[in-house]
Amino acid sequence: MVRRTGPRPAAYFNILMTILSCIHNTVAFQQVLKQPPQQLMFQWLQVADLNLSFAIEISPVSVGALELVTFISLLSQVYALGYLEKDWSISRFFGLMGFFEGALAGIAISDSLILSYALLEMLTLSTYLLVGFWYAQPLVVRASRDAFLTKRVGDIILLMGIVGLSSYGAGLTFSDLKVWSESIALPPLTEALLGLSLIAGPTGKCAQFPLNLWLDEAMEGPNPAGVMRNSVVVSMGAYVLIKLQPIFSLSPITSTALIMIGSLTAVGASLIAIAQVDIKRTLSHSTSAYLGLVFIAVGLGQVNIALSLLLTHAIAKALLFFSTGSIILSTNGQNITEMGGLWSRMPATTSAFVVGAASLVVILPMGFFRMMQQWLTGGWNMPLWLFVLLLFVNAASVINLTRIFRLVFLGSPQEKTRRAPEVQWLMALPMVTMTIAVLLFPLMPLKWSLWLSPIPSAVVFNQSSIPHAFPMMIAAGVIGFGIGWRMELRRALSRPTQFYLRLMQDLLAYDFYIDRIYEFTVVAVVRLASQFTTWLDQYIVDGLVNWVGKVTLLSGQGLKYGVSGQSQSYLLTIMVGISAILWLLLREDWPTIIDYWSTLWSTVLNQ
C-alpha cells in the first residue's frame, strides 16, 4: 500500500489505533474511577523456586496516566502530519511513534518491576531512534548517541537495584513494596545502596543532575517527538520513581539524595534556561527544573504532590512545544534572537504560548497555582528552604518565559519573521485543542483530582505553615515578570562587553561546562582504560599467541629436514628419542644403575 500511495497510510493507521486507545481509556477511566485497584497477573517463567510474572494494575491512577499518554500522543501524531508533511520518511517516524507510545502506555499500567524495566529500555531505544531520525546530520548522530548512552548508565544501575530487591525477598511488583518495606529489617548501608541504585534509572529518564544533558541534545529530533519527550516521557520516569517511594523511605540517605538531586537540578536548570538562545533547548532545561521539584516531593514523601505536579507540567509543557514547533516551521529557525513581531502574524500560536506559559507558573487561576496551593496548604510543615526554592524556581521560570515572549512575539519583525504565516489546520487543530484543555483544567472540581493521590485524605487545604505564603509566591512571579520585561535583550551576534557579564553568560549558556568536566574526568578515564586494554590485547595477549605460533612454525620448518625416507634413520631417531626420555625419567637414579651394572660386570669378569 505504501509503495502505491506513499507513506501516509502508515500515519493514518497509527493515528486510528491511537484514537481507539484514547476512546477505550476514557471509558475505562470512568468505570474504575470509584473502584479499588485490581491486578491482572500473567505467568511468564516458573523454574524451581524462580517465579516470574507480569502484573498489570487497573486503578484510577494507572488508567488516568494511560489516558494522559494516549491523549497527548494523539494530538502529537496529528500535529506531526502537518509538521513532517514534506519529509520523505514520515512512515518511519510514525512507526517509531507507535513503538514510543506502546512503551509509555505499558509503563502507565505496569505493576511489575521487570516489565517496567523492559519498557524503560524500550523508551531508551525509542529516544535513540527518534533523536537520530534525521541521521544524515553529524550533530544529530552525536546527540542520539549521547542520549542513548546517558540513559543506559541509569538503566544499568536500576537493573542492579531490581536484582538486589529480588535477592532480599521483595516481590517484583510495586504493590508488594509497601508491605515488604514495613516488614523487612536490612542493614543501614544495604538500605542506602538499594535506594540509591533505584534512583539512578528515573534520574536518567527525568534528565536530572548529573544525567541531565541528554534532554538538551535530544532537541535535535523532530518537534512532535519533542512534545512527547518533554511532557509524558520524563513524567513516566518520575511515575516509576513515585511507585518506588516505599523503598526510599527505608533510608534517610536515599531521601536526602532525592532532595539534593532535585534541588541542584531545579536551581541549575532554571538558570541555564535563561541563557539559552535555542527555543527548544530553553524549554527542555525548564523541564528538568520542574522534574527536580518532583524529586523533592518524592524525597519528602509527598506522593500526591508529585503526581499533581506531573499532570500539570505535562499538559502545560506539551502546549508550549506545540507552539514552539509552529514557530520553527514558519520561520525555519530556532534561534530566538533572530525572531520578533510574530504576535500579529501567528495569533493562534501566540495564544497557545501565553496559555501554556501562564499554566506553568503561579498565576491565578491556572493549573500550577492550584498545584502550589495543594503543596503550601497540605496540612504539613513546609521547610523554609523548600519555600525559598519554590519562590526561586517560579521567579526564574517567569523570567525565562517572559524573555522568550519578548524576543519571539514582540518587537519589530526580523529577517526570518517578516513572512511567517500561521500554520496549517493539521498543526493548528491539536494546538488549539490543547489550549482549551489547559484553560479548562483549573475548572475541574477538586474531588475529581483526588484520583491522583493514593491517599485521598492527604489532600486537605489548611492554613500554610509559612505566613503569607501565597502573596509571597505571587509576588515572586511579579518580580520575575518585571525582571524579564526590563532586562536587556541581545540579538544575534551581540555579546556583553563587561567581563563578568560575559563570564556569567558563558557559564550558563554552556550548562556550567558540565560536558567539559565529563570530558576531562569520566570520558578521560574511559579513554585511558580503553587505550590500556588495547595495548594489553595487542602486545600481551596477541603477542603471546603470535610467539607460540612462530615457535611452532620454526620448529616445524626445522624438523622437515630430518625426513629422509630411510627406515634406519627413523629407527635411529626413535632410539635416540627413547634414550632421551629414559635419561630424563631416570636421571636421578643413574648413579645407582651405573653402580649396579658395574658390580654385575665385575662379577661376570671375575667368574
Q: 475-478: which pairs have CB atoms within 8 A and are 24 or more residues apart?
A: 476/362, 476/391, 476/392, 476/394, 476/395, 476/398, 477/361, 477/362, 477/363, 477/394, 477/395, 477/398
pLDDT at 48 over 80: no
Residue 562: band (very low, low, confident or very high) from pLDDT cuts 50, 70, 90 = low
Residue 447's pLDDT is 46
Residue 563's pLDDT is 66
Residue 450: band (very low, low, confident or very high) from pLDDT cuts 50, 70, 90 = very low
Q: What is the pLDDT of residues 276-300, one digit of tens each?
A: 888 998 999 999 999 999 999 998 8
Residue 561's pLDDT is 65
Residue 378's Cβ-side half-sphere holds a number of Cα atoms within 13 Å equal to: 26
Q: What is the pLDDT of residues 202-235, one digit of tens each?
A: 898 888 888 888 888 888 889 998 899 888 888 8
Q: Which amino acid is at 541?
A: V
- What are the beta bridge partners of residue 151? none
Residue 376's pLDDT is 77
CA distance 291 to 310: 8
Residue 321's pLDDT is 93
Residue 80's pLDDT is 93
Cell of 188: 543501614
User: Which of 363, 138, 100, 47 has the alpha carbon at shortest distance from 226?
Assistant: 100
Q: What is the pLDDT of residues 531-560, one digit of tens each?
A: 999 988 888 888 888 888 888 888 777 766
Residue 93's pLDDT is 92
User: Which of 72, 108, 79 has the alpha carbon at shortest distance from 93?
Assistant: 79
Q: What is the pLDDT of residues 136-147, one digit of tens each?
A: 888 888 888 888
For the residues 481-503, what does the mean pLDDT come to?
76
- Residue that is written with C-alpha cell 558540565 in the block: 514
CB 283 within 8 A of CB 339: no
Residue 378's pLDDT is 63
Residue 1's pLDDT is 65
The DSSP-derived string for 4-51 is: HH-SHHHHHHHHHHHHHHHHHHHHHHHHHTTS--EEEEEEEEEETTEE
CB 470 within 8 A of CB 373: yes
CA distance 170 to 184: 9
Residue 585's pLDDT is 73
CA–chain centroid gap for 111, Å, is: 20
Residue 487's pLDDT is 82
Residue 457's pLDDT is 38
Residue 459's pLDDT is 42
Strand, helix or coil for residue 112: strand
pLDDT at 473 over 60: yes
Of 470-479, 494-503, 562-571, which has the strongest mean pLDDT?
470-479
Residue 89: band (very low, low, confident or very high) from pLDDT cuts 50, 70, 90 = confident
User: Which of 427, 235, 476, 247 has the alpha carbon at shortest distance from 329?
Assistant: 427
Q: pTM, whole model, 2 decimals? A: 0.84
Residue 460's pLDDT is 45
CA distance 403 to 385: 27
CB atoms within 10 A of CB 606: 6
CA distance 271 to 212: 14
Q: What is the pLDDT of residues 324-338, one digit of tens each?
A: 999 998 888 888 888
CA distance 33 to 443: 19
Residue 595: band (very low, low, confident or very high) from pLDDT cuts 50, 70, 90 = confident
Task: Report helix angle 113-131 to 234-243, nearest 10.
Answer: 160
Q: What is the pLDDT of residues 134-191, one digit of tens each?
A: 888 888 888 888 888 888 888 889 999 888 888 876 667 888 888 888 787 788 888 8
pLDDT at 451 over 50: no
